[in-house]
Amino acid sequence: AQSVTQPDIHITVSEGASLELRCNYSYGATPYLFWYVQSPGQGLQLLLKYFSGDTLVQGIKGFEAEFKRSQSSFNLRKPSVHWSDAAEYFCAVAEDNAGNMLTFGGGTRLMVKP
Amino acid sequence: DVKVTQSSRYLVKRTGEKVFLECVQDMDHENMFWYRQDPGLGLRLIYFSYDVKMKEKGDIPEGYSVSREKKERFSLILESASTNQTSMYLCASSFPEGSETQYFGPGTRLLVL
């Protein structure tokens, strides 16, 4: 069975600093990979996704993620964090031909210091 | 824009009550999903449906049932609510291919006393 690990439960960064959120997955074939963000009291919003092609994926709000097959990783990055980026971030993986079922990581809560 | 709505943002129920959570999507998506979200555990799939009147168990179906009588509506039912079902419940919908995005509703925070 596939699994997703987000090793960092909480991360605190200063506004303007760079950010990297880690995501590791366990899956035999090439996965479909997603990053979602959940602002307080809200549902999940898609930031970006990877399913083929260029391994560096650009998303909304200035986020990007890089798929590294050799490391089974799909880390999320942003060069300069804004206070409005404070939220919970979820990495997820889907299998091909499995009806679009997602397996989620446990989430990383990002706090931004002024 | 895709819109997924959930009938309640907050619910308070008593142990043993029957609870209905409703979800409606307006994008003609075939797939609909119910998750529960608990701190540190991420989202766990309860049930999903890939067509009207079709349903499949997810990872944690015990204590829950679902109903999908119309394509746009997917209901989650707690037959006899228990305190360990206190949680955030999220509904999502999507087209069926693996690369497709799931779109989420705002969630229902359920407290069972």
pLDDT in tens, B5-38: 999 999 999 999 999 999 999 999 999 999 999 9
A5 close contact with B: CB closer than 8 A: no
Question: Two tokens at B89?
Answer: 């419940």
Higher pLDDT, A40 or B4: B4
DSSP structure class, residue A60? G
Q: Would you call A105 and B42 a contact, using CB atoms and an 8 Å cutoff? A: yes
Between the alpha carbon of residue B40 and those of residues A15, A37, B31, B57, B84, the distances in Å are 25, 15, 26, 22, 16
Instruction: Answer whether residue A21 shows pLDDT above 90.
Output: yes
Q: Residue A41, by phi and psi: left (phi above 0), alpha (psi -120 to 50) or beta? A: left
Amino acid at A78: K
Angstrom distances, CA of residue B113 to CA of A62, A88, B7, B11, B18: 42, 27, 20, 11, 13
Task: Report the pLDDT value the prediction gives residue A97, as an integer from 0 to 100.
Answer: 62
Q: Which residues of B touch A44 (CB under 8 A)?
A: 43, 90, 92, 102, 104
Q: Which amino acid is at B26?
A: D
Averaged pLDDT score across all residues of chain A: 91
Backbone angles phi, psi at B77, to 5 degrees: -125, 130
Q: Residue B58 and residue A50: Cα distance in Å, rounded?
A: 24
Band (pLDDT 50/70/90 cuts) for residue A80 is very high
A84 three-state secondary structure = helix
pLDDT tens, residue by residue, A29-75: 778 899 999 998 788 999 999 988 889 999 999 999 999 999 999 99
Distance from CA of B64 to the nearest CA of A (A): 18
A30 in contact with chain B, both atoms CB, cutoff 8 A? no
pLDDT 10s digits, B48-104: 999 999 999 999 999 999 999 999 999 999 999 999 999 999 999 998 876 778 999
A48: left (phi over 0), alpha (psi -120 to 50) or beta: beta
- Alpha-carbon span B72 to B44, nearest angstrom: 22
DSSP β-ladder status, B108-112 and B10-13: parallel
